[in-house]
Structure 1
Amino acid sequence: MTEPNQEAMHHPHHHLPKRIILVRHGESQGNLDTAAYTTTPDNKIQLTPSGLAQARQAGNHLYNILSNDENKNWRVYFYVSPYDRTRSTLREIGRSFKKERIIGVREECRVREQDFGNFQVKERMKVIKESRERFGRFFYRFPEGESAADVFDRVSGFLESLWRDIDMKRVHRDPSHDLNLIIVSHGLTCRVFLMKWFKWTVEQFEHLNNPGNCEFRIMQLGPGGEYSLAIHHTDEEMLEWGLSPEMIDDQKWRMHANKGDWNEKCPWYLDEFFDHVADSDTESDDKENGSSGMCD
């Protein structure tokens, strides 16, 4: 038996990325002054000098995290939104990595920003965003633009392509290397990505806070083949992001769960919908007969 096959037997998840890291772009001109959107297309909004510095700092931070691995043969593959501010963020992040560490980069249109329409009228957009707060962030669709639900659909399509890339080893050809996928995107898109991946509900999404500029969320692979935010991030961080205690408990469960396992303690998987239903036929019969099910 050859050495690679022996390794595959002992490490059944060797072909999976060790980490999937979501990075929001650095501070942009639009973050600094929303009037920028009235004259500049959203995809052409540039980073500020502070945003460029944030991206370089994020690159240093990411490099330090990856280089501290026991396996020094790590590699990265980047996906990036086609917007100028995300592309510029990636260029600055990339300054921290040598080319030998980078497997490749792909511009991915499906992880772009939520479409807010075309040129934005500042006062009109203020009213629209107030309406969104009343209507709900997930289902509210911007006039001539998208809802977060629309973003969810295209992110779902991206995830299907991502898994095909992984399964067909398009992004990872050497099993001795730890693969890290870094997705440079936008705040809402990152939140929707996590919602889709971890099967969070719409209500849970509504409570999530937007990542700050160049903040990142690290989903790390556990020994059983499940990804978890809790391997790298603290409870305090996840609470700040808007995760509930139950969601954090689920992340901790995922740290050691086997791939494909079902967390029966997750209330939003079952009890959220069937908390009024009896646990068993016996319990149901007991209730109908007026019995507590206990011996007198």
Structure 2
Amino acid sequence: MKNVEAKQKEKIQNLKMLPKHIILVRHGESEGNKDTSAYSTIPDHKISLTEHGRAQARLAGSRLRDLISSHGSSQDWRVYFYVSPYERTRSTLREIGKSFSKKRVIGVREECRIREQDFGNFQVEERMKATKETREKFGRFFYRFPEGESAADVFDRVSSFLESLWRDIDLNRLNNDPSQDLNLIIISHGLASRVFLMKWFKWTVEQFERLYNPGNCEIRVMELGRGGEYSLAIHHTDEELREWGLSPEMIEDQKWRINANKTDLNDHCKWYLNSFFDNELDSDEDVKEEDIDSDDDSKDIFLDTES
């Protein structure tokens, strides 16, 4: 009984150390969003916000403050910002920051791994249009821009960032007091945000390619569930998730995560199994050699013996 109580106490303590929210924010409207010809004369990382983009960021700051202050278990909440080094994201943070007093902000970190996808130095407008048409035919995740990156490349560096993020949380490098609600706000770009969610929720390439880009200063909120999992379905409605491109199975998974424990994850993959296996056999004895198509090379992925 004491062991059970001790484990429960440890679980509660661990949950207190986890961020209450992890919030993804795309930058405000940029000069490149307004006029794509800007990319042919201005380096991507130097593209600035428009006046409308700055107004969007100020409004986003107000919305973020209201969200955090009204959805936490403690009024003594804090925020920690991660920001892409691009000018448009840094400017977005400056405007968002006007809604937060210094005592609420425990840190700001510029993080290169959440920067925009590299489309390749200066972008000639006519050439980029043709290149993006080719990307649609090839596939948005694996297509690599000449002298630039693919979404798969962005996935690799965002994955590295996530590993660092979890180490920071586990080792309390963010200097968070457990009595305070910690909220992480990540100010980044459209594709980087989608790839972040893909990595976090273990979405497939096919699921990623369903997703739509967030709008300028759109906020996507991952909230901590009761068992230690994060879910988009706590703050966002089914309709919102559908508008983002999530399938019914992906939305159902988000709802499951609201009450899920981390130890339950391995048992919650039937939908994923079914995408690879037509049926689930109870034992090895149910597999008969004559039932296997001898012309099907797919069986070669399995070893002949177990080691």
TM score, norm. by length of structure 2: 0.88
Task: Kindly report which structure 2 residues correspond to 1:237-276, keeping only aligned pairs within 5 A, or say none.
Answer: 237-262=240-265, 264=267, 266-276=269-279
Which deviates more from structure 2 when the two are superposed, residues 273-282 or residues 231-240? Answer: 273-282
Displacement of 1:279: 4.2
**How far apart in 2 are the matches of 1:268 and 1:114?**
31
CA distance, structure 2, for counterparts of residue 265 and residue 104 of structure 1: 36
The equivalent position to 2:37 in structure 1, one of 35, 38, 54, is: 35
Give 1:293's aligned residue: none
- For 1:9 and 1:188, how far apart are their aligned partners in 2? 34
Output the CA distance in 2 between the equivalents of 1:205 and 1:169: 31
Match of 2:231 in 1: 228
Give 1:24's aligned residue.
Answer: 26
Equivalent residue, structure 2, for 1:109: 112
Dislocated runs of 4+, deviation >6 Å: none
> Do the aligned residues in 2 keep the contact of 1:246 with 1:266 (CA within 8 Å)?
no
Q: Distance in 2 between matches of 1:203 and 1:12?
A: 34
Q: Distance in 2 between matches of 1:265 and 1:224?
A: 14
Task: Select between 61-70 and 143-152 the one with higher mean Cα deviation.
Answer: 61-70
Q: How many residues align?
A: 282
Deviations 1:148-198 (A, max 9, x none): 000000000001110111111111431001100000000000000000000
Q: How does 1:97-176 map to 2 (within 5 A)?
A: 97-176=100-179
Measured after TM superposition, the shift of residue 83 of structure 1 is 0.1
Aligned counterparts of 2:205 and 2:62: Cα–Cα separation in 1:
34
Q: Where does residue 294 of structure 1 map in the other structure? A: none
Matched with 2:302 is none
* Cα displacement (A) at 1:216: 1.3
User: Equivalent residue of 2:164, what SS?
Assistant: helix
> Corresponding residue for 1:63?
65
The 8 Å contact of residues 172 and 179 in structure 1, kept in 2 or not, is answered as no
Task: Verify the 8 A CA contact 2:82 2:187 in the aligned structure 1.
Answer: yes
Give CA-to-partner distance per residue, 1:13-41, whole Å, 9 cap, x none: 11111110000000000000100000000
SS in structure 1 opposite 2:221? strand
Question: What is the one-letter code of the residue matched to 1:65?
Answer: L
CA distance in 1, matches of 2:216, 2:263: 34
Q: Secondary structure at the match of 1:120?
A: coil
Letter in 2 for 1:42: D
CA distance, structure 2, for counterparts of residue 279 and residue 7 of structure 1: 38
C-alpha deviation, 1:260, in angstroms: 3.0
3-state DSSP class of the match of 1:43? helix
Instruction: Give identity over the alignment, percent.
Output: 71
Corresponding residue to 1:185 among 165, 185, 188: 188
Instruction: Kindly indicate whether residue 207 of structure 2 is the aligned counterpart of residue 197 of structure 1.
Output: no
| Aligned residues: CA RMSD | 1.8
Unaligned runs of 5+ residues in structure 2 are 1-7, 292-307
Secondary structure (helix, strand or coil) at the match of 2:196 reads helix
CA positional deviation for 1:261: 1.6
Note if contact 2:249-2:271 (Cα within 8 Å) is conserved in structure 1.
Answer: no
Contact 1:230 1:255 in 2 (8 A): yes
